Structure 1
Amino acid sequence: MKQDRNSSAEPQLKLNEEAIEAAKRSLDEGAVTPSYGPWRDQIVKLLNDALATELVCVLRYKRHHFTAKGMNSPAIADEFLVHAQEETAHSEKLAERIVQLGGEPDFSPATLLQRSHADYDESKDLKAMVRANLVAERVAVETYRQMIDLIGDKDPTTRRLLEDVLRDEEEHADELADLLDQ
């Protein structure tokens, strides 16, 4: 027996008309439509923790940039500064996405270290600085991977943002690992 193309046995790709109608309301929500469902607040929390991590990384890299000493220090200090600038760009993208989701980016210095996945570091030895930054980048890689898995298809825009940041963090880790080998 030949099955009809429109048979209910075949899955159908069909837009949810109720969700489309709901998107026409609550215009003050901007890009956040009801389809974000219960995940929005949890995603904002994840993003704020990532924001804290990026800000701590900026502070650590800046400190290391200004305090690096030794024969190889000028080139390594320059690398620390580049990484600090890239981490700043990450923090700005995260803060922007938090606002797009209707949240408030948390820049509070009072809770920054508590919310950060990475540690601040006051090493004075150049190799210890590189190692501390490598550890922080590896932590960032792991946390971004986990966030991407958790978010999955719940928020494709945030997932793509995190994938872009992850790519940069992996590059930072590779560069720092190369510095340790010198």
Structure 2
Amino acid sequence: MADFLTDVHELRAKARAEIMNGPVTDAYHADLPRVIELLNTALATEIVCTLRYRQHHFMAKGLDSEPVAQEFLEHSNEEQGHADLLAGRIAQLGGTPDLDPERVVGRAHSEYVPATDLRQMIRENLVAERIAIASYSEMIEWLGDGDPTTRRILEEILAREEEHADDMLTFLESDR
């Protein structure tokens, strides 16, 4: 057995003694209350993005709007999936996902900007994706190795947000 591993008897005893801590063990090295706070901020951002994309999906009009509207709907569904991942992780860490509509908009990094012009919709969604990319990148850097599970969740979401930004940029460039 390697020297750096905790004695199995000690592992078992700690697991039993701290059973009500669920997945949070001595191996967890992040600031748990701060992680939950950051995840609730990310959750609020995803909810706002879900709603903005959904509104844009229904309001997209014009000859070339159908593929863009479909992309908005797809992104809305993916943003909701991100929100679900974040809410699940918050609960897993012993926190409470804050879905209170009165607090969501105030905590979100992105803005809810309804639009009626297709180009404006695309631009607003690209801005929101860029904000999300910067926010997730900062959260990932801050977490470091303190919470590898949360970091992986955020990295997975970040990759999707980068794809969303690329999609919006492609629509803007094709409109020139």
TM-score by shorter chain over 0.5: yes
More helix as a share of residues: 2
Structure with higher Rg: it is 1
Counting only pairs closer than 5 Å after superposition, residues 32-181 of structure 1 correspond to structure 2 as 32-36=24-28, 39-181=31-173
SS at match of 2:17: coil
The one-letter code matched in structure 2 to 1:15 is: L
How far, CA to CA, are the matches of 1:180 and 1:99 in structure 2?
A: 38
The one-letter code matched in structure 1 to 2:109 is: H
Counting only pairs closer than 5 Å after superposition, residues 6-45 of structure 1 correspond to structure 2 as 14-17=4-7, 20=11, 21-36=13-28, 39-45=31-37
Displacement of 1:27 in angstroms is 1.2
| Deviation string, structure 1 residues 103-128 (Cα, Å, up to 9, x no partner) | 01010100111100000011111000
The one-letter code matched in structure 2 to 1:80 is: F
Cα distance change, pair 65–13 in 1 and its aligned pair in 2 (3 A): farther
The one-letter code matched in structure 1 to 2:145 is: D
| Deviation string, structure 1 residues 51-104 (Cα, Å, up to 9, x no partner) | 000000000000000011111111100000000000010000000000110101
Cα distance change, pair 137–19 in 1 and its aligned pair in 2 (3 A): farther
SS at match of 1:132: helix
Runs of 4+, deviation exceeding 2 Å? 15-24, 34-38
Matched-pair contact (CA < 8 Å) for 1:23–1:34: no
Cα RMSD of the aligned pairs, angstroms, is 1.7
SS at match of 2:53: helix
Displacement of 1:23 in angstroms is 3.1
Structure 2 residue ranges without an equivalent (≥5): none
Aligned to 1:7: none
| Deviation string, structure 1 residues 5-47 (Cα, Å, up to 9, x no partner) | xxxxxxx961345973433322122111133356111111110
How far, CA to CA, are the matches of 1:145 and 1:85 in structure 2?
A: 22
Aligned to 1:6: none
Cα distance change, pair 151–75 in 1 and its aligned pair in 2 (3 A): same
Displacement of 1:148 in angstroms is 0.4
How far, CA to CA, are the matches of 2:173 and 2:53 in structure 1?
A: 19
| Deviation string, structure 1 residues 135-174 (Cα, Å, up to 9, x no partner) | 0000001100000000010000000111100000000000
